Amino acid sequence: MHLHGVQDTSVHLVLPADRGEELVRLGWAEPHQYADFGTEFMIFGPRDSDELHVVLSIIKESLDFARIGA
């Protein structure tokens, strides 16, 4: 996982493939251009505090997936 910086604020994450695809459908993400396993996604940077809460919850999902695989 990494943040793109203060101007962009998009985040590359690893998520379960089905959850990442759901986020793509909902407009929060797109598949990473170098996705090797179908689990790599770019999450768009938040534009306001409400979106920040959503993005932070997606980051937590990614961390949980990395730690426990769920």
> What's the structural domain count of the chain?
1
Residue 63 pLDDT = 93
Determine the Cα–Cα distance for residues 69 and 10; give it in Å rounded to an integer: 23
Residue 8 pLDDT = 63
- Give pLDDT tens digits for 32-67: 877 677 899 999 999 999 999 999 999 999 999 999
What predicted TM-score, i.e. pTM, was given to this entire model? 0.83
Residue 7 pLDDT = 65
Domain residues for the domain of 43 are 2-68
